[in-house]
Amino acid sequence: MKEKVSELARGCFAWEESKINITESRISQNIYADEIHTGEIRFHTVNGLPVKGLVYSDNPYVTVINPTFNASQIVIGYKVDAFNMAEREKLSGAFYIVSSAGEYVISYDFFVVSRSINSSMGEIKNIFHFTNLVQTDIKNAIKLFNSPRFVDILGDDLVLKNIYYSLVRSNDARVALDEFLIASQKKGRVELSIEEKNYDYADLGEVVHDTIVVKRKNWGYTYVNVESDSPFVEVSASLYESYDDSDIVIDFDILASKLHSGNNFAHIHVYNDDFDKVIPVRVASKTNIPSAYYHQIKKAKYELTTVYMDFRREKITSSVWVKRSLEVIDRIIGFGCTDPFYYLIKAHLFISCQKMSEAKAILEDFALRYENGTDNYPAYCYYLYSKSLYMKDREALTRVKETINDIYDSKCHDWRILWVLLYIDDENDRNESLKLIRLKEQYYMGCKSPVMYYEAAAILMRNHKLFRVMDEFEVQVFKFAIDNSMLEKNAVDYVMSLISSLYKVTPLLIRVMEKVYDMYKDDLYLEALTTVLVKNSCYKAIYKNYYLEAINRGIKVPALFESYIRCFDADDMSLLPKPVLLYFLYSSDSADEILAYVYANVHYNREEYSSAYEKYKDIIARFVYEHIKKGDVNDNYIYLYKNLLDMKQFAVGDVGEFPKIIFTHKIKCRLKNVTHVIVRHKEFTSDIAYPVKDGVAFVQCYTKDAVICLRTELGRRYVSPAYYTDEKFFDIEPYEPYIMPVVKENIFVAFYFAQKYLGSQNMGNSIGRIYLEILKNKSVSPNYKSEIAKVMIDYYYEEIDYYEALVEYVALIHDVWLYRKQKVRLLELLIAKSEYDAAFEFMRTYRVYPENGKRSARLLSEYIEHHGVDEHDQIIDNLATICAKSYRFDDNILKYLVHNFNHATLLMYDIWLEAGSRKVNRDELSERILAQCLFTGTYFKENYDVYKEYWNNRGNEVVLIAYMNYYSYKYFVKEEPINESLFGVIRSCVQNDIAVPDICKIALLSFYSKKHMLSTEDAEVAGKLIASYVSKEVYFAFYKELSDKIDMPYEIADKCFIEYRTVPGATVTIHYKYTDDPAVPYSVRNMEMMVDGVYVAAYTLFSKEFLYYYITSSENDKDYVENEKKYLRDSIDYQEYHGRFSDINDIIMSKDMGDYATMRKFYRSYRVREYVTDKVFDIIDGV
């Protein structure tokens, strides 16, 4: 810019000024929030000549990356800071191009939009789009749901985000996604049902296929697990899933190969966390036995076993056993049973009753039938055993024993073979421990035959010391002994003692002990039973009477009374026995939850207990006080608190865990397998998990929108209220004065008050302090901190006088995400509270600026007051621009702007005007404005006012001369309008003999030539200048316009001038002639350049004489031809000096007018002048 001004001051003008072509005069773009958007503006010069310049942006969030340029093709980069901006906000302003080719404006609007997420169905911008994606592409929907970017489509909805964060940690994303859509009210909950159908089958082939249809209501993801409890029912899959609204079809097969004869029963279990259905299946399978006899045979077999057991227990004699058994076997065989084992039993029975021939016939028949061997090892072993009995051969019996042992050990472990061995192997009789081991092996191989149970029970009853452990086998055998009246008192005593010493027992063993006690009603057995019940935490109602019996009979078992109380449901307020009341009146070491039930029961039944209640009353009151402080909760605690709470016991602020109590909710789960209830407050960073016991959890919910989430054993999560009931116990408002002081210790209480007063018009400083506690706490969710910060800013922006802790608040939001709008408001709050240092620190840290022009001005003025006008940076410059645009000034700001401000010329001029109105010295700004006008070629009429003041204040001479030169050149050479007041300055210089460039004086003369008349002063100046330039042979066409205003030099009195304007240095030629006869050729002469770009040729013409001409020029190797013109001398200027040429003109004019007398007069005058000239002057050769 200085270089250009210097050139103009030296009179160096650019004939051809560059122009810039801007194709895009307005920028309108969408940008993403929380990003730095970059872009470019492109422009070029029309003539290809390079231009210099700068680009300014008037919005501090839109900055120019490379603001200077010097080229013909210009690319200017810019960046737009959209961090912390909200969707639908916009950044508006303009780029100002200040260049040597002029000034231009490109306005811009940048609209902030949220970044959408691409999917298979296009952009996903919100939850509605996402719901459509779920219905069309579940796979991609789940992928998006699990991605960190999913929350972007939820916008600022903290409640919905909180639901999402509660669900996204589910082990099953499909269930979580469906629950989220239900919670966001985009779909209904999927409900399943199975139509009633009879799954009975008969007369099957090898495989029968069938289906179960699970109908559904509402679309969405669902699943069912499918299990069969029988091998003959085979389901095709254990898990079925559905993602749309179609029914689920479960395929299963009935496998005939796995059926036994007769009726086969199975169950197909269809279930999920919210659905449970058991479907019975019955299959009637064909047998070789007529179906009418099948059940008769089963019944007869059972009867055969019963008769045998009666014989072994000596309930019947041997003969009776044989007789009845033969009758039963005959019925079995008669019904069509062909199993050889029963024929061999019959042979054995015949031997027992000495019917040897009948026995022989059966044995021979078996031998004949199976002479080639058989794989029916039980029958074969029984045959060998019966044959040895028939033969009464001890050696043969020994061989048979060896054979059967070999078969049992290596080929077949059927219990019937073992049963045979028990009678023929003496080792079993000698070693009952070994015999018991073999029986135990059979049990764990699946044998549940009463025959085996009997053998084992008989051994254990004879030798109870063999009850070394109480495993499943021993328990079943002992139970068998009980059920079959085989008990021996010594054995019972031993077993009951053994059981009571065990740490852990099975439910079956407990039932066995119950049976023993019910049989004997022995105190020792009751003590053993209750000891086991206590140790195994058996607190079901069915055990209550055993505990009570023990209490009434004075049996001493640790925790007996407590276990009795644990058998009561929380809402069961049945009267307690006096021993129980008495015990707990003096027992202080019982578990608190036990005491809570007892005290609740005593209070509930206080009228019935009367005297006991009086003794309990003070104890209960102390208990309630202590546990309120601890914050213990369950149904009984809650009952006591609601009925006995006395807040007078508590000092304000010293309430312990009382807030926990009043915010307690009771959650009853309707879903199966729920292990935890998870509560998530949107205000908190993490979940809080509460264990579920018997389907119930006591949780704390401090805000209305806390998310309650059920977590199952498999980690699935559910939030639908359909899956639970929520019981709230207390109305919080009456207790607010007691819990308000604990917000520092309990941030959740702060959440409660924050929610209650969020957005309220009556927040005040107390709630403001609560918000500060929230902002201080590191466990508070960043999103919620942002929400709190926004509310505080918006509220106190309007109610600024109420807030006392502004600087403390500002310090706390360093890590809090805020929209820029809120940051700006907070900055303006600091300014309004005169916290200027904090405001500057805030502005530099967060790069935000006040939007309120008044507050911007206060801040900038304060800065200038303390730092002066020289110390500044980009932040301060941006602040100054804001003040300048909003016309908010004071003297400090104006001094700063005058000293530092650079921008578009007209904006600088507005500041110049304001500085003048406030009497602020503005010479620095004047110089920059004038220099910029000269650099850019910007013209506005008022810029002369700047120049005139700068001239009067004796400004920079180079700038002053450059201005005078440039606008004189514009006026005369370029024939452009300027503020004509400039000529007053030029005239003054001429009058005072102050050196002024020729272009200025020539422009002044040109200005005078256009005036109707000149003052005496102006005429004097004009005459002086004309005489000077004529003497230098500098001529211009406008001279003739001055002939009637001043006395013109005689040298030009008879001259007329042809002017032509083109680039300096061009060769300009005039082609001329005095006739329009085409046959007459043109004469040629070069025109002389009088000043830069103005070429002149002088001619002498007589009145009414024409000059025909055209002009050619050669510029930069290009030739230009102007169309032919003609010049007519059509008048005589009577103020011209008289000479021979004027006499000729007068002669011609007199002749034209018919005034011959005057014509003769002028003719005489001409002749006299011609004579005198010839006598006085000599012609110089060569001129």
Strands 1105-1115 and 1125-1129: antiparallel
**Structure confidence at residue 965 (pLDDT):** 94
Sign of torsion over alpha carbons 127, 128, 132, 135: positive
Q: Measure CA 845 to chain center.
A: 25
Sequence-distant (6+) residues with CB within 8 A of 713 are 673, 675
* Residue linked to tokens 């939001």: 813
Q: How far apart are CA 480 and CA 449, in angstroms?
A: 11
CA distance 480 to 459: 13
Q: What is the pLDDT of residue 1183?
A: 44
Q: Which residues contact 1175 (CB under 8 A, 6 or more apart)?
A: none
Cβ-Cβ contacts under 8 Å for 682 (sequence gap 6 or more): 158, 159, 161, 162, 703, 705, 706, 707, 781, 783, 784
**Where are the alpha helices (H) located in 645-781, listed in sequence order?**
658-662, 736-739, 747-757, 764-776
**Co-location of 1029 and 1107 in the same domain:** no
Query: Residue 568 and residue 575: Cα distance in Å, rounded?
Result: 11
d(CA 348, CA 336): 20
Encoding tokens for residue 626? 């202590």
User: 1017: Cβ–Cβ under 8 A, 6 or more apart, which residues?
Assistant: 987, 991
The number of folded domains in the chain is: 8
Backbone angle region of 715, left / alpha / beta, with phi > 0 → left and psi within -120 to 50 → alpha: left
Question: For residue 238, what pLDDT is reported?
Answer: 94
**Residue 797: what pLDDT?**
75
HEC profile of 258-280: HCCCEEEEEEEEEEECCEEEEEE
Are both 41 and 106 inside the same structural domain? yes
CB 100 within 8 Å of CB 936: yes
- Quick one: pLDDT at residue 554? 92
Token look-up 């080229």 returns 71
State the burial class of residue 910 (Cβ atoms within 10 Å of its Cβ: 0-12, 13-18, 19+).
middle
Q: Residue 856: enclosing H or E segment and its boundaries? A: helix 853-867
Q: Convert the pLDDT of each residue in 977-1020 to its tens digit.
A: 999 999 999 999 999 989 999 999 999 999 999 998 999 999 99
| End-to-end alpha carbon distance in the chain | 50
Q: Verify that 1007 and 1073 share a domain, yes or no.
A: no
Do 724 and 656 reside in the same domain of the chain? yes
User: Considering the domain boundaries, does residue 145 fall inside one?
Assistant: no
Out of 683, 710, 740, a domain closes at 740
The range of the structural domain enclosing residue 675 comes to: 650-740
Q: What is the CATH number of the domain that holds 51?
A: 2.60.40.10
Q: Which residues contact 959 (CB under 8 A, 6 or more apart)?
A: 5, 9, 927, 930, 931, 934, 950
Tell me, what's the pLDDT at 1134? 43
**Shared domain check, 1038 and 953:** no
**pLDDT tens-digit series, residues 871-898:** 778 888 999 999 998 888 899 999 999 9
- Which two three-digit tokens encode residue 855? 């507050």
Question: What pLDDT score was predicted for residue 1153?
Answer: 72
pLDDT value for 1007: 95
Give me the residue label for tokens 């001369």. Answer: 961
Domain final residue, candidates 848, 879, 912: 848
CB 1066 within 8 A of CB 1112: no
Whole-number Å distance between alpha carbons of 1120 and 1068: 9
Residue 1068, judged by CB atoms within 10 A of its CB (0-12, 13-18, 19+), counts as buried
Residue the block writes with tokens 């006598």 = 1175
Rounded-to-integer distance, Cα 872 and Cα 863, Å: 9
Q: Amino acid identity of 615?
A: K
pLDDT of residue 286: 66
Categorise residue 580: left if φ over 0, alpha if ψ from -120 to 50, beta otherwise: alpha
Domain presence at residue 334: no
* Regions in the chain scoring below 70 on pLDDT: 203, 286-292, 426-429, 652-653, 759-765, 799-806, 1129-1146, 1149, 1151, 1156, 1159-1183
By C-alpha distance, which of 310, 302, 307, 320 is closest to 485? 310
On whether residue 2 sits in a domain, the answer given is yes
pLDDT for residue 970: 93
Rounded CA separation 313/67 (Å): 114
Environment class of 504 (CB within 10 Å of its CB; exposed 0-12, middle 13-18, buried 19+)? exposed
Question: What DSSP element (H or E) covers 623?
Answer: helix 611-630
Say which CATH number the domain at 678 has: 2.60.40
Structure tokens at 843: 């502005």
pLDDT, one tens digit per residue, over 108-165 is 999 998 777 888 888 888 899 999 999 999 999 999 999 988 988 888 888 999 999 9
Tell whether 379 is covered by a domain.
no
CB 69 within 8 A of CB 52: yes
User: Would you say residue 815 lies in a domain?
Assistant: yes
Q: Based on the domain organization, do 823 and 899 belong to the same domain?
A: no
Q: Do residues 798 and 883 both lie within one domain?
A: no
Rg (CA), the chain: 59
Nearest CA to 619 out of 580, 587, 656, 579 is that of: 587
Question: Does 996 lie in the same domain as 953?
Answer: no
Q: Are residues 870 and 958 in the same domain?
A: yes
On whether both 23 and 83 belong to a single domain, the answer is: yes
Q: What's the farthest any 2 CA atoms get from each other in the chain?
A: 201
| 817 domain residue, yes or no | yes
> Taking Cα atoms as reference points, which of 40, 62, 54 lies closest to residue 102?
54
CB contact set of 588 (below 8 Å; sequence gap of 6+): none
- Work out whether the CA dihedral 887, 893, 894, 898 comes out positive or negative: negative
Residue 370 placed within a domain = no
The verdict on 808 and 844 lying in the same domain is yes
Q: Is 707 exposed, middle or buried (0-12, 13-18, 19+ CB in 10 A)?
A: buried
Residues 1028 and 1061 in one domain: no
- CA dihedral 523→528→534→540, nearest 10 degrees, is -70
Q: What is the pLDDT of residue 1137?
A: 47
Q: Say how far apart CA 442 and CA 473 lie, in whole Å.
A: 10
Q: Which residue is it, tokens 């970059």?
A: 38
pLDDT of amino acid 1138: 55
How far apart, in whole angstroms, are the C-alpha atoms of residue 353 and residue 336? 25
Query: Could you tell me the CA-to-CA distances from 653 to 733, 739, 746 in Å, in that order?
Result: 16, 7, 11
Give me the numbers of helices (H) and strands (E) for the chain, helices first please: 46, 35
Tell me the β-bridge partners of 122: 119
Of 113, 148, 181, the one marking the end of a domain is 113
Q: Distance between CA atoms of 494 and 492, rounded to whole angstroms? A: 5
Quote the Cα angle for 866-869-875, to 5°. Answer: 85
Q: Residue 1135's pLDDT is what? A: 47
Q: Residue 358 falls within a domain, yes or no? A: no
Q: Following CA atoms 868, 874, 876, 882 in sequence, which dihedral angle do they give, to the nearest 10 degrees? A: 140
Classified as helix, coil or strand, 359 is helix
d(CA 71, CA 136): 55
